[in-house]
Amino acid sequence: MFSELKISKLLLFIVLLSLIGLANADCVYGAKSKTKFIVLDSHALILKGGYGKDILIKTFSFINSGSSISILKDDFCSYESAVLYIDGQLADANEVKWL
């Protein structure tokens, strides 16, 4: 029914659509300028202070109000690895956005 060329074009179209979806991931910059953080829950925090808007970061890593947190990357996007250092462990950013 489908020719090999039509299947190839369809696969190319699907791949391009998936790449467009990834290109729309939220990204932030200037995270290292933030001077404090607020823990929202055990997997989310807000970076405040410095210049620009506040930054929300959600992660699978455990965070508590007494956690020691270091920001490793100044610019990053959702689903980026090794963005934070939380209590001696590397933490990935599952979701980031400006507030």
Alpha carbon of residue 63 to chain centroid: 16
Asked whether 34 and 76 are in contact (CB, 8 A), the reply is no
- List the domain boundaries for the chain: 26-98
In this prediction, residue 89 has a pLDDT band, given cuts at 50, 70 and 90, of: very high
pLDDT at 90: 96
Span 10-49, pLDDT tens digits: 565 665 555 555 555 699 999 999 999 999 999 999 999 9
| Spatial separation of the C-alpha atoms in residues 21 and 48, rounded to whole Å | 29
For the segment 62-86, the average pLDDT, to the nearest whole number, is 94
